[in-house]
Amino acid sequence: MFKFFIYHYLILMVAIMSFWGIGHLVARSSSAIGDLGNIRHPIQTSLGLGIVICLIQLISILGFLNFTALALIIAVGVVISSVRLFSYFQDKNQRKTFFEGCKSLGKSRKIYIFSLVLCVLPTLLKPLHPPTSWDEVMYHLPHAQQWVMAGKLTVNEWIRYPWFPYNYELLYAAGMILVDDIFPHLLHALAGWLTAVLIYQVAKRYFDSFVAVLSVLIWLQISRSYFGNAYIDMGLTLFIVAAVISFYSWSENPKNNALLYVAAFFMGLAAGTKYQALMFLPIFFVLLVVKRVKVEVFLKLTLLFLIPCAYWYFRNFVITGDPFSPMGGKIFGFYDWNAEDFRSQFIELGTVKGWPEWLLWAAPFCLLNKEVYAKRFIRSLVIFCAYSVAVWMIISHYPRYLLPLYPLLAVFSAAGVVYIAKFLFGKITKTTINEISTEAEKIRKSWLVISSILLIAFMISGLSATKSSLKYVAWNDSVREKVLKKRIPGYEAIEFQNKYAKGNTYQFGMEYAVYYMKNQTWGDHFGPGRYRDFVDLSSSDLHDKLVRMGFENLMINQDVFKSISLKEDFACYFSEMYKSDPVVLYKIKSSREC
């Protein structure tokens, strides 16, 4: 297991060096980036990551998505970062400052670091789980897998959402080519870790070290489950948070447009990752109008915004007539979806409505602190969060769609907890502490108690999560197979299909395992292979329709669609090839045999 861990994280470190190197090269001429202080490092790394996505997009469009091209991109970044780090440590003063900073850590800082380590640890183990989360095996990784097989971007109409913007999945395709299918988890987790560093530096700059640590602990606690999958929500979150920080840092110093351009690029990356990012654009646009940004600057912003995302929207418009396919179908006309698909999608979203994580509910209490209103940057973040929460409540009310806001709300929640705790303990200590004690001593003692309680709670949670995360770390093929058999119902039937079943397959109720089906496998709730076009057909009509469409196999999850195989004359048209509860694989006969 240790070798497996080291192998993947060494490669991830190489990738991070490359991202940082490319980001540093692009940002080095910008004095505005330097004005961000320590925030500039995660911004530069995120910027480099975004540029790499654009390069992967370019080579994928041109049909050069292969090991050599990807390795060359990463190598360039590594060389740049190596040169920069070498020159940094060649400077004796820089070395002295660095090592003295490490030695001079006080007790409180060491406790903070220990708490963070325990909370980070489970997020280091979760990415090492094999892909089993619903959306990642239903469409995120299947699309990336098809691009890897083709060596270029393709439209895979049998997989859900073939027309979505897929910036972050491009990284997954690259990770699968360079390493394996565990690496997409690490690339998704990397976005979460970079977000943690961003909010730490922001909270430390505008509040204090404890608020910074508590912000990160809250963020890691509420987002922990996302570190173990290859969704794209962490990537979207990173780009939105980086854009917000860059944009509102520019608003404090509007004379230098460098940060504004960086923010536009990050927003373009976000819009090329998920349609949801578009809901944040109006509030940025309003401030640009209020600031009276010049036309030529606005044109540059538009170009930088479009570079990472224009391909997806232009492709959709040219082929389907809907740049937001399929979500704009009611306006632009439907292509592979229909009105019933659209309605069903929003009914499904209605079933998952909910509220933000309870750890974020302390965020409004930070507004009781008068110091918040004195800081322009923090005031801007408050307005941005209020706008975003309002739009979210109107549009979806689905907690996962609020994830891009969670890091900022974590900062405000931490600040709110600290303010309320100090206020309450200040009141209590007036009666419980000896009158001889000074006010400063009272505050110190009360804050020691509350901070210790908070840190211990998070440390216990981190240790517990670490133990559970270890169970599913698949460090070799045999362990991986055991995990997949446990977490993918009917996995043995899928393996049999991959080895022995020739031709394309239609499936009922197996969306959770599309990634593991090597043959082209159709069947979904939405789109051209929608279940409702097949499920109510008689055995004879189902057989004839599947044969006309070129299918040779039928796979059914009996827990979900048991009635299909119970229909009259079913055995006359379909013969059982393999059964692994609850999944049965059938061969579609060429004609009726009884």
| pLDDT on residue 441 | 58
| pLDDT on residue 210 | 86
> Which tokens hold the place of 496?
């049999």
Mean pLDDT on 235-240: 98
Higher pLDDT, 95 or 336: 336
- 3-state secondary structure at position 577: strand
| pLDDT on residue 455 | 73
Residue with tokens 């632009």, as numbered in its chain: 332
Residue 118 has pLDDT above 90, yes or no: no
Average predicted confidence (pLDDT) for the chain: 89
Q: How far apart are CA 378 and CA 199, in angstroms?
A: 12
| Burial class of residue 303 in the structure, from the number of CB atoms within 10 Å of its CB (0-12 exposed, 13-18 middle, 19+ buried) | middle
Picking from 73-87, 315-329, 454-468, 528-542, which range would have the lowest pLDDT averaged per residue?
454-468
Q: How far apart are CA 57 and CA 44, in angstroms?
A: 20
| Residues of the chain above pLDDT 90, percent | 72
Q: How far apart are CA 222 and CA 232, in angstroms?
A: 16
Quickly state the pLDDT bin for 235 (edges 50, 70, 90): very high
Query: Cβ of 370: how many Cβ atoms within 10 Å?
Result: 8
| pLDDT on residue 234 | 98
* Cα-only R_g, the chain: 26
Residue 431 has pLDDT above 60, yes or no: no
Residue 442 has pLDDT above 60, yes or no: no
Residue 450 has pLDDT above 70, yes or no: no
DSSP 154: -
Please name which of 585, 518, 506 lies closest in space to residue 548, comparing C-alpha atoms.
506
Quickly state the pLDDT bin for 466 (edges 50, 70, 90): confident
| pLDDT on residue 436 | 44
What does the pLDDT look like over 187-217, one tens digit per residue?
Answer: 999 999 999 999 999 999 999 888 998 999 9
Mean pLDDT on 75-98: 78
Mean pLDDT on 519-542: 93
Picking from 102-116, 232-246, 566-580, which range would have the lowest pLDDT averaged per residue?
102-116
Mean pLDDT on 384-396: 94
List Cβ neighbours of 329 (8 Å cut-off, separation of 6 or more).
322, 335, 337, 338, 339, 342
Higher pLDDT, 109 or 9: 9
| pLDDT on residue 38 | 85
Mean pLDDT on 393-413: 94
Residue 458 has pLDDT above 80, yes or no: no
The per-residue DSSP string of 418-474 comes to HHHHHHHHHHHHHHHS-TTS-HHHHHHHHHHHHHHHHHHHHHHHHHHHHHHHHTT--
Quickly state the pLDDT bin for 27 (edges 50, 70, 90): confident
Residue with tokens 């927003």, as numbered in its chain: 267
| pLDDT on residue 433 | 47
List Cβ neighbours of 88 (8 Å cut-off, separation of 6 or more).
94
> Which tokens hold the place of 395?
């549009």
Quickly state the pLDDT bin for 511 (edges 50, 70, 90): very high
Mean pLDDT on 124-132: 94
What does the pLDDT look like over 93-112, one tens digit per residue?
Answer: 655 555 555 555 566 667 77
Q: Which amino acid is located at 156 in the chain? A: N
CA angle 514, 7, 14 (to 5 degrees): 95
Residue 571 has pLDDT above 60, yes or no: yes
- Cβ-contact 242, 43 below 8 angstroms: yes
3-state helix, strand, coil in the chain (%, to 5): 75, 5, 20
Residue 435 has pLDDT above 50, yes or no: no
Q: What is the pTM of this model?
A: 0.93
| pLDDT on residue 430 | 55
> Which tokens hold the place of 511?
């969306």
Residue 546 has pLDDT above 80, yes or no: yes
Residue with tokens 């190596």, as numbered in its chain: 82
Residue 443 has pLDDT above 80, yes or no: no
Mean pLDDT on 8-17: 97
| pLDDT on residue 128 | 95
Q: Where are the domains of the chain?
A: 105-411, 488-588
Picking from 207-216, 227-236, 318-327, which range would have the lowest pLDDT averaged per residue?
207-216
